Amino acid sequence: MKPTRTRFIVLAGICAAAALAYFTRNGVAPAESTIRAELGITKEQSGMLMSSFFWPYALCQIPAAMLAQRLGARWSLSLYGVLWSVATAFLAWGNLAVMTGARAFMGMAQAGLVPVGTTVMARWFPRTAQASASGAFSGFMSVGSIIAAPLTAWLVVSIGWRWMFVWYAVPGVLWAAWFAVWYRNRPSEHPGVNAAERAQIEQDAPPGAAIEAPRVPWGLLLRSPALWCLCLQQFCRAAGYIFFASWFATYLQEARGVTILGSGWLTTLPLLADVTGCMAGGVLSDVLLRKTGSQRLARQGLTATALLLCAGLIFCAWLVANPVMAVLVISAGMFCAATANPCLGATVMNLGGPHVATVSAATNMCGNLGAAAFPVVVPWLLVHAGGWDAVLGGFGALYIVAAVFWLLLRNERIGQ
């Protein structure tokens, strides 16, 4: 019997959710200078507005994963999609307090996306294809950012940023309605999955991927060196990545003399590199795993090497005067860094066992604590540490530290 391919529609569904989530959360950054001028706020206040998403997003990771275990991925992701769309619409209200509250609520609503999405991939894909699936999922996060950057810049000029946020709320509601009707929590429950596809999915499934998670052993989790390495590397990588979703457009405008429309388009280049790096890295990691059978080489070794290359390329951008060429060099670095995204997802699925959602939530929580901190640190670096050069240097250093934690990571089951 020829296997059906329902699992790829599942992957397309969660990739669409990832793109929509990042599309809405990153819609503020390209319009930052316009919103700041219209509201009459300082750069420090603007940094707090952008970071207001990430504190509740980080802190609600584990509660959102626990709620999803009760509701199942089908209903929890549908609920989260509606809620973050409502929060997006409230950004059009247009004063600092309401926008900050809306960004915070959006962070709470999107907190369950990554841990629930990781659980979905663990249940619907065999181990030797999980990095590729994770690469697509991670890559489509940047697809949303890529679309948001130039579209936001154009809409700000054409219809104003308030109406822009109203229109940005619509796609998430439509996606949530489709997902609630079509998706099923397990391959065995979906009418579109035949026996051959179920066998293909389950042929090398990691232990615990197809069962309900038992009570979370928090003591064992917190004593796991592997979990600490995963969390700390994610703190550094997310803090580096968020530069593109917060201050990168402003950096191009102020340090490189690029217009707002030009900065919107140039911002898409490192994000496009992130998409291609995620997808290429996932495929390469799975190929290495099938050829060598070594989890350490295919996941940790590949990622640490790529992160060090990323840091080197970012430092090289210092020496490039032409803004377009500098962005291309940075984009090459982001291509390298992006290979860590699918490797992280596959590593969490392999080491998390029945606690995949909790481990994923913990790593993503730490990542977003880093993402929340970096936009606030940037104004301080601009005033006290040497301007935009200091910001770029700190940006590159984060990836070196992340590489060190990947080298320290050992393949040991978390929580057991």
For the cut 50, the answer to whether the pLDDT of residue 353 exceeds it is yes
> Which of 112, 89, 132 has its CA nearest to residue 18?
112
Helix (H) or strand (E) holding 361: helix 356-384
What is this structure's pTM? 0.76
Note the Cα 26 to chain centre separation in Å. 11
| pLDDT at position 222 over 80 | no
Question: Considering the chain, what is the average pLDDT of its residues?
Answer: 83
Arithmetic mean of pLDDT, 125-149: 83
209's tokens: 């991927």
Weakest-pLDDT range from 216-220, 267-271, 332-336:
216-220
Q: What is the CA radius of gyration of the chain?
A: 20
CA 279 to the chain's CA centroid = 14
Q: Is the pLDDT of residue 209 over 50?
A: no
Q: What is the pLDDT of residue 231?
A: 92
Task: Dump the DSSP string for 155-195.
Answer: HHHHT-HHHHHHHHTHHHHHHHHHHHHH--SSGGG-TT--H
DSSP 199-220: HHHHTTPPTTTTS---S--HHH
C-alpha 139/C-alpha 152 separation (Å) is: 20
pLDDT at 214: 55
Distance CA 223, CA 398 (A): 24
- What pLDDT, in 10s, does the model give residues 143-163? 887 777 778 778 877 887 788
Q: What is the mean pLDDT of residues 172-181?
A: 94
- How many angstroms separate the Cα of 313 from the Cα of each of 25, 362, 405? 27, 30, 20
SS3 95: coil
Helix ranges restricted to H, 225-353? 225-246, 248-255, 260-292, 295, 302-317, 323-338, 340-352
- Helices and strands (DSSP H and E) totals, the chain: 22, 0
The DSSP-derived string for 252-287 is HHHHS---HHHHHHHHHHHHHHHHHHHHHHHHHHHH
Quote the longest CA-to-CA distance of the chain. Answer: 66
Q: Which of 74, 117, 12, 144 is nearest to 363 (CA)?
A: 117
pLDDT value of residue 80: 95
pLDDT band at 177 (very low <50, low <70, confident <90, very high): very high
